[in-house]
Structure 1
Amino acid sequence: MKLKSIFILLLAFYLQTVNAQGPSAYTAEAAYDLINTIEPSPFAHTTHPDAQWFPSAGMGLFMHWGIHSVAALDPSWAMIKNCFWVKRDCPIATEDYYRLAEDFDPVAYDPEKWVLAARQAGFQYMVLTAKHHDGYCLWPSKYGEWNTGKYMQGRDLLKPYVDACRKYGMKVGFYYSPRDWADPDYAHVFPFQDNDLNQKRVITLTPEESQQKFDHFFMTVIGQLSELLTRYGKIDVLWFDGVEWPRVNTYPDKVHAWLRTLQPGMVINPRWSTNGKGSFGDYKTEEGSWRGHLPEHPKKVNDGEWWEFCESWSGHWGYSPLDKYRSLDQVMKLLIYARSYGGNYLLNIGPAPDGTMRKGYYTECEKLANWMKNNKESVIGTQAVPKWKEMSKYPMTKTDQAYYVHLLNDTLNTIEITGIEKPNQAVWLDSGEKLSFKYLEGKKLLIDLNGERSHPLDAVIKIYSE
């Protein structure tokens, strides 16, 4: 009887421990070994309950931070000549760029301030660059030469960020670039001869030699990912940014099965290069250029697909202390159009090298927070109205109980919406003031505004469904 009781207690303790650890029940070492034995599986869109928050999240905050921040450089790309999106006449020499690791010392780092301001501004998830293409890791990794273990006495910059996100209910995301310009294996396929964007490298390796070097490089990548996905508990988003190693097997099916095993509820972006061997990613990414095509539907996105648009809030992707922020009007417009088509808006900021957030961040967050205070329900937790242009001149979002019409800069006497059932009432969302309306044949709704609007940038009308 006594032995049975002891067994039951031990079993209960084991189950409690496994459940408490959740996705991080693997150690980094066990995760590293697992890649050799796991059965590959073609990428399948996640159906895990813990991942279903993503399509209705609305807003995420992207943060590019690293050794490049010391000199306010565009991350990694500042080393490349003729890089048209880098606003520098003369790129920084590679040795000078990596020398910045000696001066990267964020003595004033307090991510709780970053996260709290973002949360109040309406951001629902954050994505921090754990490693960019330059190869520098913001944690003390056993793999690779460039990380805080070598240059910061083992300081881990990721854990305080993760802890802050959890404290304030923010979803946790890691950006991780598989390509590594500092890795000696990757040097054989680094695409730019003499660091010049206009001079493409001719790869002289045979296919067999290239695959052999990739396989060695791949295990470094797996080692780093093993640490990221086991040391910090549950990770909500993993944001890849290209393997960029042509004509080799990058093992996408194996990577997919491995990631799903380590972090079953994690949302994965599509930027693990498959070299034509199948699809990858739970959602699609749009970057930069879509803004110029508003209000058109993103061409690469089909109705019902998860997707995300990312762009810089101010300047280049990294620390840009001298650049102006996008106006609140520009930010609101992008957010509204993205939400009307069911996408998330991932807005980027580059923190300062000392660990503070760059000047203006808290002011801009406060502007967003003021609008979100009364209008948040119209963009966060909503669904797409993908055919809104057939129903109205104005972008729309919805929930199961209501439609939201976003007037942006328009001041009107009457608005017309077609194709919805007769509503119970229509109100200005921020004030609750009722609006008179007529419901006509052909499911035509006319709402009387009397030439007024409730907000100068985005006045939202809430239409209650019957």
Structure 2
Amino acid sequence: MIQQWWKDAKFGMFIHWGIYSVPAGEYAGVKTDNIAEWIMHDLRIPIAEYEKFAASFTGEHFDADKIVRFAKECGMKYLVFTAKHHDGFAMYHSKADAYNTSITPYKRDPVRELKNACEKYGIDFGLYYSQAQDWHDPDGCEDGENGEGKDFEKYFKNKCLPQVKELLTDYAPVKLLWFDTPMYMTAEQSKELKDFVLSIQPDCMISGRIGNGLGDYVTTGDNFIPLLPIGYSFEVPATTNHSWGYNKFDSDWISAKKIIRRLVKIVARGGNYLLNVGPRPDGSIPAECTEILKEIGSFLKYNGDSIYATVSIPPYPYDIDWGYFTYKPGKLFIHVFEDLDRVYLLNIHNKPLKAYLLKDKTPLKVKERCTCEGDSSWLIKLPQNRDKDIDRVICVEVEGAELEFEPIKR
């Protein structure tokens, strides 16, 4: 069941932090050419060697309060933290499996600290859990294998379910469980897992990657945005560079301009945007990443009304390359990403009542007319973009609770 808080939130913070941040994309002089948190799998690091990274996982600069406060300042409404990734290492004090943060110099429980901070700052708290892939457990799934020689049910009963129970009971309430890569889990196993979650926390949402079509919403491919509104709720998990876990070689950061445009595009198509940060082994977030998020936060401070609690609308009948629309009952938000001096739109049925720049309420005039083809049209003149805003958001208050785009006439 999709909860209203999730529908309204639109923008969340993903945090990938684990002992994979220690090698940070390199092992024995070899750089991984894939995402950093997959280094154990991709470079075939033996379990005994990979376990040694725990000794260098210090976390001395990890500050859950600071991170959650920062997420709130950046306009994020929910947070999802990697309680256990595919490497099998639990980022909390698991009683079900000793392979967890208690064996590191860090020793603390970041899940506990983040939960407390989320409660303090009013951020909805979620956890990521790799339910099928577990490269540390001999019976866990691994990419590229079909399960021969493994007793997956043994892993499922002895590690997965007990750890999920810990997370749902010891850190309650968990608003969202973000499962990932179901691999060769059967429909029966996915259903058993879902029923198990709901038996403990009936209001906990479940991501689409639980598998077998049993998620509460669709989780798209990493960094993939649907071309059009797809008619049901979805979430795009995305990176700020090219890796989820910290990679010391990845300095190709995505600009705030591109991320803001992606956020608007996703929301315009009815989805949520879950944007990742990957802390270093000491727990600090790279400065380049924080600067990007600050710029996004500045945009949302003044334009958040055009993002949060908006609703999906029908596709606009024309292809416009300069922007997108978002909507909430009675308000059409026109997002202008190009340096235009006017916006001309056809085929909007609703009558405009009032228009202004959302950032500072600068009033704008909407000139209505009917074209020779019989289509309605709006002409809105814009003032000069002196502040060089990435996205100038026009709010047009309209008649009617529903937005209606007229079809192109033949």
TM-score (norm 1): 0.76
In structure 2, do the counterparts of structure 1 residues 122 and 153 end up closer, same or farther at CA, with 3 Å as the change threshold? closer
Whole-angstrom CA distance in 2 between matches of 1:150 and 1:203: 30
Aligned to 2:218: 284
Aligned to 1:362: 290
Whole-angstrom CA distance in 1 between matches of 2:128 and 2:398: 40
- The answer to whether the Cα contact below 8 Å between 1:314 and 1:320 also exists between their aligned partners in 2 is no
What does residue range 445-460 of structure 1 map to in structure 2 within 5 Å? 445-449=378-382, 455-460=388-393
Offset of residue 365 of structure 1: 2.5
- The answer to whether the Cα contact below 8 Å between 2:41 and 2:135 also exists between their aligned partners in 1 is no
Aligned to 2:210: 272
* Paired-residue identity, %: 29
In structure 2, do the counterparts of structure 1 residues 191 and 320 end up closer, same or farther at CA, with 3 Å as the change threshold? closer
Aligned to 1:181: 135
Alignment match of 1:143 (pick from 96, 102, 126): 96
Verify: 1:228 aligned to 2:167, yes or no: yes
Any idea what SS the aligned residue of 1:416 has? strand
Q: Which whole-Å deviations, capped at 9, do the CAs of 1:307-347 have from their partners, x for residues lacking one?
A: 01112102311113451421111101100100100111111
Offset of residue 55 of structure 1: 2.0
- The answer to whether the Cα contact below 8 Å between 2:352 and 2:366 also exists between their aligned partners in 1 is no
Aligned to 1:463: 396
Any idea what SS the aligned residue of 1:415 has? strand
Alignment match of 1:425 (pick from 340, 344, 354): 354
Aligned length: 382
Aligned to 1:86: none
What does residue range 229-244 of structure 1 map to in structure 2 within 5 Å? 229-244=168-183
Whole-angstrom CA distance in 2 between matches of 1:78 and 1:391: 41
Aligned to 1:65: 17
- The answer to whether the Cα contact below 8 Å between 1:422 and 1:443 also exists between their aligned partners in 2 is no
Aligned to 2:6: 54
Whole-angstrom CA distance in 2 between matches of 1:61 and 1:269: 15
Q: Which whole-Å deviations, capped at 9, do the CAs of 1:44-71 have from their partners, x for residues lacking one?
A: xx16xxx212122121111110101122
Any idea what SS the aligned residue of 1:149 has? helix
- Considering only aligned residues, what root-mean-square deviation do their CA atoms show, in Å? 2.4
Aligned to 2:66: 113
Which consecutive residues of structure 2, in runs of 5 or more, have no partner in the other structure? 26-34, 400-410
Alignment match of 1:400 (pick from 323, 326, 329): 329
- The answer to whether the Cα contact below 8 Å between 2:223 and 2:239 also exists between their aligned partners in 1 is no
Aligned to 2:311: 383
- The answer to whether the Cα contact below 8 Å between 2:222 and 2:237 also exists between their aligned partners in 1 is yes
Any idea what SS the aligned residue of 1:71 has? coil
- The answer to whether the Cα contact below 8 Å between 1:106 and 1:354 also exists between their aligned partners in 2 is yes
In structure 2, do the counterparts of structure 1 residues 255 and 162 end up closer, same or farther at CA, with 3 Å as the change threshold? same
Q: Which whole-Å deviations, capped at 9, do the CAs of 1:282-305 have from their partners, x for residues lacking one?
A: 1111234536x8xx32xxx622x1
Alignment match of 2:152 (pick from 180, 192, 214): 214
In structure 2, do the counterparts of structure 1 residues 465 and 153 end up closer, same or farther at CA, with 3 Å as the change threshold? closer
In structure 2, do the counterparts of structure 1 residues 463 and 404 end up closer, same or farther at CA, with 3 Å as the change threshold? same
Any idea what SS the aligned residue of 2:361 has? coil
Moved more, 228-237 or 435-444: 435-444
Offset of residue 390 of structure 1: 4.0
In structure 2, do the counterparts of structure 1 residues 373 and 172 end up closer, same or farther at CA, with 3 Å as the change threshold? same
Whole-angstrom CA distance in 2 between matches of 1:234 and 1:375: 30
Q: Which whole-Å deviations, capped at 9, do the CAs of 1:3-27 have from their partners, x for residues lacking one?
A: xxxxxxxxxxxxxxxxxxxxxxxxx
Verify: 1:98 aligned to 2:36, yes or no: no
Any idea what SS the aligned residue of 2:194 has? helix
Q: Which whole-Å deviations, capped at 9, do the CAs of 1:417-460 have from their partners, x for residues lacking one?
A: 42231111111111211111212244422212266576431011
Any idea what SS the aligned residue of 1:56 has? helix
Offset of residue 369 of structure 1: 2.0
Alignment match of 1:330 (pick from 252, 255, 258): 258
Whole-angstrom CA distance in 1 between matches of 2:129 and 2:222: 20
Whole-angstrom CA distance in 2 between matches of 1:290 and 1:154: 36
- The answer to whether the Cα contact below 8 Å between 1:321 and 1:359 also exists between their aligned partners in 2 is no
Q: Which whole-Å deviations, capped at 9, do the CAs of 1:383-440 have from their partners, x for residues lacking one?
A: 1224134496631001112010001124133421422311111111112111112122
- The answer to whether the Cα contact below 8 Å between 2:58 and 2:106 also exists between their aligned partners in 1 is no
Structure with more of its chain in helix, by fraction: 1
**Which residue identity is paired with 1:359?**
A
TM-score (norm 2): 0.86
**Which residue identity is paired with 2:192?**
K
Offset of residue 158 of structure 1: 0.7
Any idea what SS the aligned residue of 2:287 has? coil
Any idea what SS the aligned residue of 1:287 has? coil
Larger RCO of the pair (alpha carbons < 8 Å, separation 6+) = 1
Q: Which whole-Å deviations, capped at 9, do the CAs of 1:143-170 have from their partners, x for residues lacking one?
A: 2342123445863221001111111111
Whole-angstrom CA distance in 2 between matches of 1:319 and 1:222: 28
What does residue range 244-255 of structure 1 map to in structure 2 within 5 Å? 244-245=183-184, 248=186, 250-255=188-193
Whole-angstrom CA distance in 2 between matches of 1:379 and 1:347: 15
Which consecutive residues of structure 1, in runs of 5 or more, have no partner in the other structure? 1-45, 82-89, 193-200
Any idea what SS the aligned residue of 2:174 has? coil
In structure 2, do the counterparts of structure 1 residues 455 and 426 end up closer, same or farther at CA, with 3 Å as the change threshold? farther
